[in-house]
Structures are given as C-alpha cells and as structure tokens.
Amino acid sequence: MASKSFYAVIAGVGAGTGRSVALRFARSYPVVLLARKPESYNDIVSEIKKQGGEAIGISADTSDPQSVSSAFEAIKKELPDKKLAAAIYNVGAGFAVKPFLELTPSDLNTSLASNAGGLFNFAQATLPSLLDSVPSSPFPPSLIITGATASVRGSPRFATFAAGKFAARALSQSLAREFGPKGVHVAHVIVDGVIDIPRTKEYRVNDGVEDGKISPDAIAESYWHLHTQHRSSFTHELDLRPYVEKF
Amino acid sequence: MASKSFYAVIAGVGAGTGRSVALRFARSYPVVLLARKPESYNDIVSEIKKQGGEAIGISADTSDPQSVSSAFEAIKKELPDKKLAAAIYNVGAGFAVKPFLELTPSDLNTSLASNAGGLFNFAQATLPSLLDSVPSSPFPPSLIITGATASVRGSPRFATFAAGKFAARALSQSLAREFGPKGVHVAHVIVDGVIDIPRTKEYRVNDGVEDGKISPDAIAESYWHLHTQHRSSFTHELDLRPYVEKF
Amino acid sequence: MASKSFYAVIAGVGAGTGRSVALRFARSYPVVLLARKPESYNDIVSEIKKQGGEAIGISADTSDPQSVSSAFEAIKKELPDKKLAAAIYNVGAGFAVKPFLELTPSDLNTSLASNAGGLFNFAQATLPSLLDSVPSSPFPPSLIITGATASVRGSPRFATFAAGKFAARALSQSLAREFGPKGVHVAHVIVDGVIDIPRTKEYRVNDGVEDGKISPDAIAESYWHLHTQHRSSFTHELDLRPYVEKF
Amino acid sequence: MASKSFYAVIAGVGAGTGRSVALRFARSYPVVLLARKPESYNDIVSEIKKQGGEAIGISADTSDPQSVSSAFEAIKKELPDKKLAAAIYNVGAGFAVKPFLELTPSDLNTSLASNAGGLFNFAQATLPSLLDSVPSSPFPPSLIITGATASVRGSPRFATFAAGKFAARALSQSLAREFGPKGVHVAHVIVDGVIDIPRTKEYRVNDGVEDGKISPDAIAESYWHLHTQHRSSFTHELDLRPYVEKF
C-alpha cells in the first residue's frame, strides 16, 4: 500500500512512543529519526535495519529553528528523491512537577520551547513538504502530534508542563483547520496514562494491574491508523488510555 | 485474528454507516443486523453472504425495551454457541430541523427515545454478553456508539436532535468509565459532516468538492480500528470529518 | 433598577437554590413559584411577603406540557398586566445513583422527562413572553438553567442522571444560539458540588471544612448577576463550586 | 463593603478592559495600574483621582520577571500598609494574524512571553500576597485572567496567538486547582467578541448592530462579580460575548 518514494520523519525518539512509531512506520516507509543525542536513535536505527527497513538518525534540537533547518537540509541530502508522507512530533520535555511557587521562569520556558516552540519549528519545516506530497502520497500526508493529559487539563504541580502542552494543542488545532482543506491530515493524540517503557518499569500505576500502562506499540497502531484514514474521514483528536485508567 | 466463535451486532443499518460497518465486521465475525424494517437489512444480509460472510437480520425497535429483549432472545436461538465480540449502536432517528418554537414535545421525545433510550436498551442487552466475552474475545469486547456534530454542540434549529445526541454521549461516557475497567471498550464517535450515501447524493456540501462527504467505508475502518485497540490503549472518543469540513 | 411591571418565574423551588433565587429576584420583581406540590412553595411565598415582596405559588409538573400550559394561563390571570423579565429552570429530579445494569428504562425516562422534557416545556411557555419583553425590560429578559457536574461529565452510577443533564445543556446551547440574537439571555449554570440545605446537613463533604458546601444564596447572587448583564456581554455558561472542591 | 486596607492591581491597562476594570475596582480599593508605558495609565490614574479614588501607575513589562519584581517592590514602598485583594491579568500582546507559514518563531515567542510568561510572572508576584490576605480580605482574594476566543479554539491565521492564550488558560486552571483550596479565587474569562474601544470604532462587526461590540464596562462588572463571589461558590470560567455574536 505504501511506497519507497516516500519517507516518514519522527521527532522525539527514545525508548517509548517514538521508537514504536518509528518501527511501525518503517514497515511502509524509510524513516528519519530526530533526537538531540545519537544515543536516543542509534539502537532504533539498527533495530529497523535488522528487520529489513531503512532508517537514518539525525541529531537535532527541535526547540532551535536553526537546528531544525539543518536537519531537514541533511534529510534532503540523504534522501534526495523521496517525498514526505508523514511527520510525527513526539518531543516531550519540560516535565517539571512542582508546586507553582517553586517553579521558575526557566521551567516555563523549557516547557514552552520544547512542546510549543519545537512543534512550531517542526511544522514549519515539514508542512511545505507535506503539501507537496498531497497529489501523490499513498495516504494523505500527515502531521501527528503527541499530546498528554496535560494538553486538556491544568493541574496543581503541572502548571508549566500544561502550559506547553495546551500551547501545542492550540497549534495542532490551528494547523488542522488551515492545512486540512489543503489535503494534509493534522491530528493530535491525547496520551492519558503512563507509558510502559523501561523508565517506568518500577512505577506502580493502576494498582499494578496487567496492561495498566499504555503499550507504546498500541499507540503506534493508532498513529498508523490516523495516517491511513481516507481524506473524507479525518480524525483530528483522539484519546488513548489504559482500560483501567480513571478519567 | 478474529474468530467464528464470536459475533457482532449492529443496531441501525441502512444505506450508510450501518451497512459499511456490517460489511467490515463481517470480514471477521458473523454479524447480526437490527433495524425496524426488513427492507433496511435484507440487501446487506445478501451482500455479506455473497462475499462469503455470515449475516442475519432481525427486526427490532431499539427504543422499545421489549423489542430489544425479543431480538436478543432470537439471536440466542440463531447463534446458540457464539459470544458477543462487538456491539455497534448506530441508530439515528429524531432529526427534526425547526426553529425551537415550532418543535413539539413529540419531536423531543422521538429524539430522546431513539438516541438515548435506544442506546440504553441496547447497552443493557449487550453489556452482560460483552462482559462475558472479556476473557476469551480475540479483541477487547466493544460497544461503539455513533455520534454527530450535535453530540457536542447545540444549534438553533437542532435543539431536540442535540438533546438526544448529548444524552447518548452522557451514556457513552458513563459506560466507558464503568465498564472500561472491567475490560469492555466503550467508544463514542463524533461523525461531523454529511455522509456520502444515496440519500445525500444531491446535497451540495463543501462546495461540491471531491470527498467532501464522508465515505461510510472510511467510518467503518475507524470503527474496526477502535475494536482492535489493545486494552492498554483504548480511545473513548474520536471525531471524523471530511478534510474540507469547517470545524 | 427593576420594575413592578415585570415578574420572574422560577420552576423547581424547594429548600435550596430555588428558594434563594426566588428571594433574590423578589427584591426586584414579583415572583411566581412553580412546584409540583404546594408544600414546596408555601413557606417561600410567606417568607417573601413578610419581607415586603410579592409572590404567588402555582402547582405544576413541568414534565407535563399540559400542566405547564395551565400554570401559565393561571399566571396570566393572576398578573394580567405584567411582563416576564426572567425565567429560571431549576427542576432537579431523576437522580438515580446505581450501577448501569441496575438502572431501568423508567430511571432514564424520569431523568429525561424532568431535566430535558421539563426544560423544553418551560422554555416553550416562557420564550414568547421573554421575546415580548425585549424592548421594555429593565435588564435583558433571561432564561437561566440550573445544571450540575453531570451536565458535562458522565460517570459510573450516574448514567441516566447525566443523560438528562446533558440533554438539558444541549437545549440551553441551542436556545442561547437561537434567542440570544433576538435579545433574550439564555444561560446555563454548572453547579459543581453539594448545596448547603437542610437535606444535606449531615453529608460530610470536602472533609467537613467550613463553606465546603455551596451556599444557595451565593448561587442566587450569580443568577442575579447573569440577569443583569448588559446585552453586549452575555455569559452563556459558568461553573459554581466550593473553593475546596476537586475539579 | 470593601476596605481601604486593601488594594487591587491590574496588569495591562489601556483604552479597553483594563481601564474599565481599574475604574470599577477603584470604587472599592486603591488601584495600581501596570503597563509598559506611562501613556497607557496616566489618563486612567487622573480619571480615578478625579472621581475621588486612589490610583498609581507603574511602568512594567510583565513578560520580564525582573521588571515585575521591581514593580512589586515599588508597590510595597508606595502602599506599605496595604494588602492585596485582587490581581487582574489583562495583558494582551502577541496578536499576529497570518497564515502559518508566514509566522516566525518571534511571533510565537512574543505571544508565549506576553500571554503565558507574563501571567506566570504576575502570578508568582501576587499569589504570596493574595494568600496572605485570605484571613482578612473583605472578599476572597482574587486572581482574574482575561482570555479570548483563542483560549479555547485554535484557528487558521491565529496559530501563535492561540498558543499563548491556550498556555495562559493552562496556567489559570492549574492555579485555580492549587490555590482555590487555600482560599484564593482564580478565574479565567473568555472574552469572545470585539471590544468596543476607540481603536475598534471603525470595525464593522455583527453587521454594525447596536451593542454588537462588548462594552468594557460590562466586562468590568463581571470581573467585580467574580471578585465578590462567596468562597462556597467560585466560578472558574465564564464566557462573555455580545448577544448577536455567533458561537
């Protein structure tokens, strides 16, 4: 169904959602992985290659417009003949959990820069290419953004994190309304729960019940479904949470 | 992936979403179609059988608890050894488009009875079976409800229709929060646009642009995706709309 | 500021919000109190008269269109020269708290009939009069509806109550969008917490902290504020909750 | 009702909401006006004094934490014996209206810095004082934030403005949930329409109908109502729009 003339790019890869999304999309496209440090993507690149897929990793700080530009110039050199089918923004920094009066302007700026600024830079770099792919892409060219509970709910101790996530959701909505009618599918996913990754192994959530943490592979399946939706039936927003999660 | 030991039931089949959902689920399960009149399901039953699937149609008025009970007793007789994997509530009556002061109590009651009352009866009839299927079902047993723009927005001229659709969404949320932790996936789909069916052929929507009406087959793909989501990553609500739809 | 040529009508009076709203509006208008039984309004009528205000009580079941018509005919006879300045719908029946599978169709119907059907009947009876008052009323003629947490959130054990409350909110939104531009102020108030009335005296909420239950007089102040808002600055929806309430 | 031992501070004053709020609160409290340039507050200070109120203006850039600190040190010197009763954040910069691909990182940063960063700095400077006033303030100490349509809706051409406004709403919700239980009333107001000020005199909105733009004095009345709400009945969010506004 998909095509080797197209590629997908995933910003924000590590042990969780980013890795699973990369593996899932690599079943149909060469994938480009962006992360600040090579150690975040090196293993995933190897894993994809081992499974017969194509992958390259590029170091980039999405919160820096210059760094994003350089990364996309590098992509152009590495994949000169390929068009962009899907861009996934999965960067999740700026997670400071503190009472409001202990937070600093720097906590706020880190969250805004990584969640909103990074998405802004990534969207500006990818949307022209996604628009360019509209007539030929096997599925509607897609920009998919990873959100969180904090995208729709400001909580005590999460004030600055929520600020960044709300701002990213504002961008997502604005982009969906502007670029949807041009054929680009912009979707925002509210991941509402703890993701089951090595770092959260010890977390006891939902009373430790089986499947009480979100499988990142399951998230990736929903991202792939979003990408393959027919343009007459785009989803802009969906939530994902473990069956046992309170909401 | 799916199994002949399970079946799916779709309430509210006709020329649009119901038919497409029935065809989609029939690729994996025998399906039972409920509609008030045989002419609503007869052709779909034939179509499914022609494609090698199994289907039966049963006449039922979901707004009548007695009629729903009878239908499920009939199902038990027809499919004595099968368990329920998925129940889709797609009944959409009660669509009166008038200024408020021209609406009658009967307009309100029709909308409440078909959208909320019918879902209530259908949910009471199917949830015990869905719970029973939790340990063995190939995918998490699912109750999927078709909503509309009017599920989240009350508009002039749509007061009673919105009342019924809001009420159905209230039930959906309540059921998701009660039965999710027990392993049943309850999902609510906001269909935001005109569906491309024979009845809407002549409607000029979204300036008549191609794919400006929602393909019911595309809706069915998203319902199937919902049904196959891993229980660690359930979606409760998603929207579906044509790429050109204003929202 | 207000005028004796106008009156206010409050449907659903008893010991809580209805009584406080009646007393508050009686400081400016003669008030008509509707309740199913005289014992619900008799004491309030006396209380208002003792304070120098005017009040009459009329027995009516708002879920019955005929009963509502009769009540408004009675009002016309009792107050032949007065116009309607404010109509408050505060009926709150249909509160069944049970697991979904223990709820009956009758629980659903009671909630839909009192919360949505009653509002429908009350709105049909009052909107023509409210429209008629637009040119002369001291403040924009107002229809104010009492909602609850369940108006925006379906919860386990509150499925049918939420269905009724969601449906009422749908009507409120539809009416606001249709009648606002004609000069009638339709507002919906989400009362999110336990109200401090004799019946809830023994409830221990919010750890029994002072002011942890909502003062009905405070609710009434917000209703009066809504009524007095300038037509260039209408509020459609506001929430009210104790400072200590989790939300 | 109020007291000369308390003061109110309004950040973001000019010809519209800020001025009206200052005049309204000056009927009960000395007020401090913050704006980047003296020409924004000088006339309002004179106007308040002419009416017998007390007012001082202080130049401050709320997006700069240092500037905010200096302003509050200046307040402490000018009003050494007064406690803070109400803090209103009404700063509204960052309004760039452009297609997304014409927006720059600087457009985004300006919106985030003024709408979210400024609120963050202002809240950090005022919340300790507001907490300190809880036991003695005539009304619950209040932090009221001015939002906009873009606080709840991302639109084409408003991507960066919405990002800032969504982020401010995230902070507002987080603060309400953290400081409400401590007795501070945090409220967020969605101003949904064009405000009737000299700058918008020529705008033709809502077909030029009378009262089709929001009276800033009407907004101020709702802010004062929020401030005076009893702590058992706090509103966190309300919308304000002209009766003819589509929503």
Neighbors of chain A by Cβ distance (3+ pairs < 8 Å)? B, D
C183 touching D (Cβ < 8 Å):
yes
User: CA-nearest residue of chain B to A190?
Assistant: B235
> D159, A179: Cβ pair inside 8 Å?
no
SS3 (DSSP) at C191: strand
pLDDT digits (tens, 9 = 90+) for C104-143: 999 999 999 999 999 999 999 999 999 999 999 999 999 9
Whether A241 has its CB under 8 Å from any CB of chain B: the answer is: yes
Q: Which chains touch C (3 or more CB pairs under 8 A)?
A: B, D
Q: Are B32 and B58 in contact (CB under 8 A)?
A: yes
Q: What is the mean pLDDT of chain C?
A: 96
The owner of tokens 């996530």 is A165
Amino acid of residue A191: V
Give the C-alpha separation, D111 to D98, whole Å: 13
At C39-80, the pLDDT tens digits run 999 999 999 999 999 999 999 999 999 999 999 999 999 999
Task: Say how far apart CA C214 and CA C159 lie, in whole Å.
Answer: 24
| d(CA B121, nearest CA chain A) in Å | 23
pLDDT band at A101 (very low <50, low <70, confident <90, very high): very high
Reported residue count of chain B is 247
| Strand A55-59 with D142-148, pairing | unpaired
C135 by Cβ neighbours in 10 Å (0-12 / 13-18 / 19+) ranks as exposed
Note the pLDDT of residue A150: 97
Residues of C in contact with D243 (CB under 8 A): 140, 180-181, 183, 185, 231-232, 234
Section A164-179 average pLDDT:
98
Distances (CA, A) of A205 to A45, A151, A211, D54: 31, 20, 10, 55
Nearest to residue D55, comparing CAs of D19, D81, D89? D19
pLDDT of residue C212: 97
DSSP assignment, residue D82?
P
Q: Which burial class, exposed, middle or buried, applies to D99 when counting CB atoms under 10 A from its CB (0-12, 13-18, 19+)?
A: exposed
Number of Cα atoms under 13 Å in the Cβ half of residue D159: 30
State the average pLDDT over residues A172-186: 98
The residue of chain A with its CA nearest to that of B179 is A243
| Closest chain D residue to C224, measured at CA | D225
Residue A94, pLDDT score: 78
- The pLDDT assigned to C3 comes to 60
Q: Is C239 on the interface with D (CB under 8 A)?
A: yes
Does C170 contact B165 at a Cβ distance shorter than 8 Å? Answer: yes
CB contact under 8 A, B221 and A229: yes
What angle, 0 to 180 degrees and rounded to 10, lies between the N-to-C axes of helices A38-50 and A17-26?
30
For C46, residues 6+ apart whose C-beta sits below 8 A from its C-beta are none
Chain C CB contacts of D234 below 8 Å? 240-243
Report how far apart, in Å, the C-alpha atoms of B16 and of each of B23, B25, B218, C64, D20 are. 11, 14, 11, 36, 55
Contact D228, D139 (CB under 8 A): yes
Q: Is 0.90 exceeded by the ipTM?
A: yes
CB of B86 closer than 8 Å to CB of B62: no
User: With an 8 Å Cβ cutoff, are A162 and D173 in contact?
Assistant: yes
Give the pLDDT confidence of C137-176 residue by residue, as tens digits.
Answer: 999 999 999 999 999 999 999 999 999 999 999 999 999 9
CB contact under 8 A, C99 and B170: no
Give the per-residue pLDDT at C92.
82
Tell me the pLDDT band of D3, cut-offs 50, 70 and 90.
low
Sorting pLDDT into bands at 50, 70 and 90, what band is C95?
A: confident
Q: What is the mean pLDDT of each run of 10 residues along chain B (247 residues)?
A: 81 94 98 97 98 97 97 97 98 89 97 97 98 97 98 97 98 98 98 93 91 98 98 98 97
- B118 φ/ψ angles, rounded to the nearest 5 degrees: -65, -40
How many Å lie between the alpha carbon of A106 and the closest alpha carbon of chain B?
33
- Interchain contact B1–A (C-beta under 8 A): no
Is 50 exceeded by the pLDDT of residue C1? no
Is A116 in contact with D108 (Cβ distance < 8 A)? yes
Q: What is the least distance, in Å, from the CA of C66 to any CA of chain B?
A: 11
pLDDT at D230 over 50: yes
Q: What angle do CA A97, A102, A107 make, to 5 degrees?
A: 60
Model confidence at D74, in pLDDT bands (50, 70, 90)?
very high
Tens-place pLDDT, residues D139-181:
999 999 999 999 999 999 999 999 999 999 999 999 999 999 9
Per-residue pLDDT of C195-211, as tens digits, reads 999 889 889 998 899 99
pLDDT at position D1, please?
Answer: 45
The answer to whether residue C13 scores a pLDDT higher than 60 is yes
* In chain D, where the domains are located: 6-240
Q: What is the pLDDT of residue B1?
A: 45
Strands B142-148 and A142-148: unpaired
User: How much is the pLDDT for A76?
Assistant: 97
Residue B234 to residue B186: CA distance in whole angstroms: 9
Residue D229 and residue C241: Cβ atoms within 8 Å? no
Which among C21, C217, C224, C232 is the top mutation candidate for probing chain D, defined by the most D β-carbons within 10 Å of its own β-carbon? C232
- Which pLDDT band, with edges at 50, 70 and 90, does A38 fall under? very high
* Chain C residues 217-236 with CB within 8 Å of chain B: none
Angle at C182 between CA C178 and CA C184, to 5 degrees: 85
Is A52 within 8 Å of chain D by CB? no
Q: Is D47 in the C-facing interface, judged by CB distances under 8 Å?
A: no
CATH of domain D6-240: 3.40.50.720
Residues of A in contact with D108 (CB under 8 A): 116-117, 120
Which pLDDT score, from 0 to 100, does residue C94 have?
A: 77
pLDDT digits (tens, 9 = 90+) for D6-27: 999 999 998 899 999 999 999 9
**Would you call D149 an interface residue with chain C, using a CB distance cutoff of 8 Å?**
no
Could you say which DSSP state residue B77 is in? H
Q: Which sign does the torsion angle of CA C194, C195, C199, C202 carry?
A: positive
